[in-house]
Structure 1
Amino acid sequence: LNQPWYVQLYYYILNFFTGKWGISPLYQTPVITLIEEYLPVTLELAIIALILKILIEVPLGVISAIRANGYLDNAIRIIYTILRSAPPFMIALALLLAFAYYVHLFPPSYYMNPILSVHEPKFYVSIGGHKYYIWLIDNMPILNSLLVGDIPAFVSSLQHAILPALSLVLIGFGGVVRLTRNSMLEVLNMEYVKTARAKGLKERIVIFRHALKNSLLPSVTIISIIFSGLMQGSLVVETIFNYYGIGYLVAESLLNLDSPTLIASTVIITIVVVISNLIADISYAFLDPRIRDAI
C-alpha cells in the first residue's frame, strides 16, 4: 500500500492473470473461489432471462408490425414505454409482492429450497492425460440438478429463478419489440414481399416464410448486447430476491467495504460485457454477407 498507484496497478494486473485476487475480508475466502461460486449462478439466470426475452418480445414485435398503427400495436407500445420508464427496483418489488407474497405462486428468495442440496458431480474434461474441473457447470443449480437427475432440486431451482428472470426481462423491456417491429415493417415493404403477395400467396405464408426470416437479422445480432445488459441488471434483481449471484456479491461487497471482492467482481462483469459485445459484432458480420464482404 505504500507504493505509487501505478505500481500497485501493475502488481494487481499481474496477480489477476495468475489467479491471485486476494482474500475477502468479509467471507474470509479467496476471491477467486467466490467468483467461481457466484458467477455461474448469474450466467444461468441471464441465459434464462434471455430465452424468456426472445420468446416474449420477438412475437410481440411481429404482431405489432402486422397490426401497425392499430389498437394492438398502440397497446404494445404503451406497455413497453411504461416498463422502460419504471425504475428497475420497482419492477422487481412489484413482481415479488404480487407473485410471492399475495398469490404465493413462486418462492420469494434464494435460488433453491434450502432443504435440498446442490450436487457437485465434478464435471471434468481430459486434455493430454490431465483432468480439468469444469467449475462453471458444477455451480449452476438448474443445469447441475438436471444433469445428475435430481428432479426435486431441478424443479425447486427453476421455480426460484422465474421471478428474478422475469424481472430482468421486464427491466428495459421493449428494445427487441421495437427492433423487430421496425425491421418487419421495412421487410414487408420490399419488392420480393410485394411479389409474393401478387402471386396470391396467403398472408400467413408471406409473413412467416418470406418476411420473418430476414426481419430477424437485427434482433439476432443484438441478443449478445442484451445479454450484457442482463448481467448489469442482475445487481438490483439479485439483491431484492436474495439470489446468490455475482450481482448479489457486488452489493454485499460494496455495503461491507470488501474491496478485493468488489474490484474482482466488477472486472469479471466488465469482461463478460466486452465478450458479449464482441460476439454481437462477429455474429452480425457472419449473418449479413454485406458486412462480411466489406471487412
Structure 2
Amino acid sequence: MSGYILRRLGQAVPVLLGVTFVVFLLMYLTPGDPVQLFMGQAGIVSQEEIERVRHEFGLDRPFVEQYGLFLGGILRGNLGQSIIYRRPVATLIGERLPATIELTLFASLIALLVAIPAGVVAAVRRNTWLDAIGTTVSLLGVSLPGFWLGLILIFVFSVMLKVLPVAGRASYGTGLHWQTGFLLLDAMLQGNWPAFVDILRHLVMPALALSAGMMAMTMRLTRSSLLETIHQDYVRTAQAKGLPQRWVILRHALRNALLPVVTAITLNVGALLGGNMVVETVFSWPGLGRLVVEAVESRDYPLIRGCVLVYAVTYVFLNLIADLSYARLDPRVAAGGGKR
C-alpha cells in the first residue's frame, strides 16, 4: 500500500506544476494592468507611483523570471501579496477557507444522507413509483443551476415563509474574526446550542443549493451500480442460502456497488469546493469562492493564482483519498491487479 501511495503522489507533482504554469500563463496574457486598475480606483494617476508598485509586485519582469519567483515562493510557503488588499495571499486564503470547508462538508453530508439511501431504495424497488420519483428528482437536481436554486430557496424560505436568513454567515465569537473558523463545530463543542441553531439556519440554504448536483449524481450512480451488482452470482448464492434480503443488499451487494460511488463522492467534494463561487456570491457567504470572484473582478493576479493553487492541491488530495478508498474496498487496485 505504501508503494501505491508513493506512486500516486509522484503522479500529482507534474499535475500541480502544469496547473500553476497554465494559470500563470493565462494571467500573464490577460489584457490590462491590475496595478493601473487598482491605482486608478484609488485616485492615484502618477505614472511613477504606478511603476513603483508594478516593480514591487514584480510585474515589470519577464514571464520566465516571474514564474520562477512564483515557484520559489511556493516552496517557501509564500504565495505573494494581494494587490488589492495589500496583505499576504496565504493569510487571506486562511481566513476564508474554513467557511468554504464548513459549507462544503455540510453540503456533502446532506447529499450523502439523502442520495445513497434513495439510490438503494430506487434499485431495490426498480420500476415502481418510488423509483420514478427518485429518478425524476435526481434529473431535476442535475438540471437546475445552483444560482437559480439558491434564488428559489431565498424566495421561499426567506421572503415568503420568513424562517431562514436571506444571506451571510452567523456572527459567533470564536476568538477569531467571525468569518474564520469552523463555527458549527465550535458551537457544538462548547455546548452553545442557541448559537449552533443560528449558525445552522444560515448554513442550510447555501448547503442545499450546493448539494443538489452532488445529491442527484450520487443517487443515480448508486442506483445503477447496485442494479448491476444485484445480478452477480455471489448475490444469488447469498439469497439461495436463505439470508434476509436486507442483509444480502447491505452486506454483500452494496459494499461492491459503492466502489465507483466512493470515487465519484470524493471527486464531487472537490467539485463543490471549486464550484462554490456562484453559490457563495448569491448567499454572500464569506468563503474562498467569493474571494476568487472579488479577485477576478479586480484582476488581483497573485490572489487568483494562490486560490487556484489551493483548489488544485485540494483536487489532488481528494483524488488520492479516492484512490486509497478504492484500494481499501478492492485490494486488487493497490496490488496492481485492478485498474482505475
TM-score (norm 2): 0.75
Cα contact 2:111–2:214 (8 A) shared by 1: no
Q: Give the letter for the 1:65 counterpart.
A: A
Q: Give runs of aligned pairs for residues 83-102 of structure 1, distance below 5 A.
A: 83-102=141-160
The CA distance in 2 between the partners of 1:71 and 1:148, in whole Å, is 45
Please point out which of 175, 183, 206 is paired with 2:217.
Answer: 175
Q: State the Cα deviation string for residues 112-131 of structure 1 (Å, max 9, x = none).
A: 0x4x433349xxxxxxxxxx
Q: Compared with structure 1, are the counterparts of its residues 119 and 153 closer, same or farther at alpha carbon in structure 2 (3 Å cutoff)?
A: farther
Q: Give the letter for the 1:269 counterpart.
A: Y
- Equivalent residue number for residue 28 of structure 1: 86
Q: Give runs of aligned pairs for residues 51-90 of structure 1, distance below 5 A.
A: 51-90=109-148
| 1:119 counterpart = 2:175 | yes
**Deviation, structure 1 residue 104:** 1.9
Q: State the Cα deviation string for residues 134-178 of structure 1 (Å, max 9, x = none).
A: xxxx72222233334433332222221111111111135421112
**Deviation, structure 1 residue 246:** 0.2
Please point out which of 161, 173, 178 is paired with 1:103.
Answer: 161
Q: State the Cα deviation string for residues 82-108 of structure 1 (Å, max 9, x = none).
A: 221222211121112222221222212
SS in 1 for 2:276: helix
**Deviation, structure 1 residue 17:** 2.9
| 1:11 counterpart = 2:53 | no
Q: Compared with structure 1, are the counterparts of its residues 71 and 151 closer, same or farther at alpha carbon in structure 2 (3 Å cutoff)?
A: closer
The CA distance in 2 between the partners of 1:172 and 1:222, in whole Å, is 9
Cα contact 1:238–1:244 (8 A) shared by 2: yes
The CA distance in 2 between the partners of 1:54 and 1:225, in whole Å, is 13
The CA distance in 2 between the partners of 1:205 and 1:32, in whole Å, is 49
| Stretch of structure 1 that moved more, 202-211 or 160-169 | 202-211
The answer for unaligned runs of 5 or more in structure 1 is: 122-137
- Equivalent residue number for residue 184 of structure 2: 142
- Equivalent residue number for residue 298 of structure 2: 256
Cα contact 2:112–2:215 (8 A) shared by 1: no
The CA distance in 2 between the partners of 1:201 and 1:274, in whole Å, is 41
- Equivalent residue number for residue 283 of structure 1: 325
Q: Give the letter for the 2:230 counterpart.
A: L
SS in 1 for 2:306: helix
Structure 1 ranges of 4+ moved more than 6 A: none
**Deviation, structure 1 residue 251:** 0.9
Q: State the Cα deviation string for residues 248-267 of structure 1 (Å, max 9, x = none).
A: 11111112222222221121
Q: Compared with structure 1, are the counterparts of its residues 36 and 198 closer, same or farther at alpha carbon in structure 2 (3 Å cutoff)?
A: same
CA RMSD after TM alignment:
2.1
- Equivalent residue number for residue 315 of structure 2: 273
The CA distance in 2 between the partners of 1:172 and 1:234, in whole Å, is 12
Please point out which of 235, 260, 266 is paired with 2:277.
Answer: 235
Cα contact 2:184–2:199 (8 A) shared by 1: yes
SS in 2 for 1:174: helix
Q: Compared with structure 1, are the counterparts of its residues 73 and 191 closer, same or farther at alpha carbon in structure 2 (3 Å cutoff)?
A: same
The CA distance in 2 between the partners of 1:52 and 1:87, in whole Å, is 18
- Equivalent residue number for residue 47 of structure 2: none
Q: State the Cα deviation string for residues 19-54 of structure 1 (Å, max 9, x = none).
A: 333332333322211111001111111111111111
The CA distance in 1 between the partners of 2:158 and 2:185, in whole Å, is 24
Q: Give the letter for the 2:175 counterpart.
A: H
Q: State the Cα deviation string for residues 226-245 of structure 1 (Å, max 9, x = none).
A: 11011122111111100111
Cα contact 1:164–1:238 (8 A) shared by 2: yes
- Equivalent residue number for residue 256 of structure 2: 214
- Equivalent residue number for residue 159 of structure 1: 201
TM-score (norm 1): 0.86
Cα contact 1:58–1:176 (8 A) shared by 2: yes
**Deviation, structure 1 residue 4:** 1.3
Cα contact 2:114–2:215 (8 A) shared by 1: no
Cα contact 2:214–2:268 (8 A) shared by 1: no
Query: Between Structure 1 and Structure 2, how many residues are aligned?
Result: 277
